[in-house]
Structure 1
Amino acid sequence: MKYDYLVVGSGLFGASFAHEVKAAGKSVLVIDKRPNIADNVYTQDVEGIHVHRFGTHIFHTNDKEVRDYVNRFAVFNHFTN
C-alpha cells in the first residue's frame, strides 16, 4: 500500500501529526520501536489507576487554542507549579 505520509516515532508530535493528517483524509503509516503510543508520556491502566511508565509529566501552556486541542484527547488534573 502507498501512504501519503510516513511518521517515524509516535511521541507527542508524531501522534498529533498523524491524527491531523488522517482527519484531513490522508493516509499515514506510523512506525515506532516501542509497542505503545505517546513515547515517554505513555500511561498504563493498573487496576483503574493511570501509572506513568516513564515518570510523571507536567503539561503547561498559556495558549487557549493549544489547551482546547489537548483537552479533546485527555482529562488533565489542575496543577500549580
Structure 2
Amino acid sequence: MTSADFRASHFLVPKHEILAKTKKEEVLSSLGIDEGKLPKIKLHDPQVKLLGAKEGDIIKIIRNDPTKENVYYRLVVK
C-alpha cells in the first residue's frame, strides 16, 4: 500500500468520488442551482489528484457521522 492509498483509506478521510455526467445534471437540477454556485475544491487537493479529476468535474463527498451519512458536492477548479 502506497502512502497515497493509505491517506485515501484513512478513517478520518471521507469517501470522494467523481460524479458521472448524467448524474451531474440530475444533482444540479435537484438542488436548483448551476455548477458555479457549488462550493469549490482545488485541482491540487490530494483527494482530487488521487481520483484523477479534471477541472469542471463535480466531486461527491460522503461523510459518515454517528447518526447519519452526509453527502456534499464540490466543483473542481484550478
How would you bin the TM-score normalised by the shorter chain? under 0.3
Q: TM-score, normalised by structure 1?
A: 0.23
Q: Radius of gyration: which is bigger?
A: 1
Q: Between Structure 1 and Structure 2, which shows a larger proportion of helix residues?
A: 2
Q: TM-score, normalised by structure 2?
A: 0.24
Q: Between Structure 1 and Structure 2, which shows a larger proportion of strand residues?
A: 2
